[in-house]
Chain A
Amino acid sequence: NAGVTQTPKFQVLKTGQSMTLQCAQDMNHEYMSWYRQDPGMGLRLIHYSVGAGITDQGEVPNGYNVSRSTTEDFPLRLLSAAPSQTSVYFCASSVEFRSPRQYFGPGTRLTVT
């Protein structure tokens, strides 16, 4: 199993550009989520999904969209990038919602200039 994979690993965007961060898992996990990690701050939840076709907002959802058309994939879309979205983004999955153990991807480091 590859586990949780994320692409790209690094990305530089100009303010106003849009892009999609990809996340996939091959463990047949129902629950998937996106976090951002900033220096001096803990991981903060952006959006999550409890299963295909179901998504919900986390703590910091503004400026981001998600969809979950399949169990395996959970892309994160930045609609109009802003410098405040410069961060490291992690995708995570677990067997189901309320399953405590999270499996994290390797992360995407995004810089918005």
Chain B
Amino acid sequence: SQKIEQNSEALNIQEGKTATLTCNYTNYSPAYLQWYRQDPGRGPVFLLLIRENEKEKRKERLKVTFDTTLKQSLFHITASQPADSATYLCALDHGGSQGNLIFGKGTKLSVKP
């Protein structure tokens, strides 16, 4: 069955550094991959989508890469700020009949001033 893993439950970095979060998947070839941000007590909010034929996508300080050979996506936040502290979820196109997406468990990012 499909499996999606985000490499760590928590990531602590210093303000101004680049945060890199990893999403790996197995037994699967998704048409696209998405990243969401979730703040405590709130619902996930869509950030970026990258399709299988795209290598990289950027939005302001955010960058996502998608390597279908390695079955991996990297999510980068450059010049990180304390306001970037949140949980970041990776989600894959399910490709089947059971709804749209499969979500990873998330990585909690803490940016220290």
Q: CA separation between A106 and B97, bound complex, in Å?
A: 26
Q: CA separation between A57 and B100, bound complex, in Å?
A: 12
By size class, the interface of chain B is 20 to 34
Q: How far is the CB of B80 from chain A (nearest CB, A)?
A: 24
Interface centre among A40, A100, A103 (most CB of B within 10 A): A100
Interface centre among A40, A102, A104, A106 (most CB of B within 10 A): A102
CB–CB B97/A102 < 8 A: no
Residues in chain A near residue B99, CB distance under 8 A = 33, 45, 48, 56, 58
Closest Cβ neighbor of B31 among chain A residues: A100
B113 within 8 A of partner (CB):
no
B 17-48 binary contact with A (CB < 8 Å = 1; else 0): 00000000000000010101000011111100
CB–CB B105/A42 < 8 A: yes
Q: How many residues of A contact B (CB 8 A)?
A: 29
Q: CA separation between A29 and B44, bound complex, in Å?
A: 17
Q: CA separation between A86 and B33, bound complex, in Å?
A: 29
Given contacts A100-B34, A101-B34, contact A58 B100 (CB under 8 A): no
Given contacts A40-B105, A42-B89, contact A97 B44 (CB under 8 A): no
Q: How far is the CB of B1 from chain A (nearest CB, A)?
A: 10
The contact sample of 13 A-B pairs, CB cut-off 8 A, is A33-B100, A42-B104, A43-B44, A43-B89, A43-B103, A45-B99, A48-B98, A90-B44, A97-B100, A100-B34, A101-B46, A102-B100, A106-B42
B-to-A contact residues, CB < 8 Å: 4, 32, 34, 36, 41-46, 49, 89, 91, 93, 97-106
A-to-B contact residues, CB < 8 Å: 4, 31, 33, 35, 40-45, 48, 56-59, 90, 92, 94, 97-107
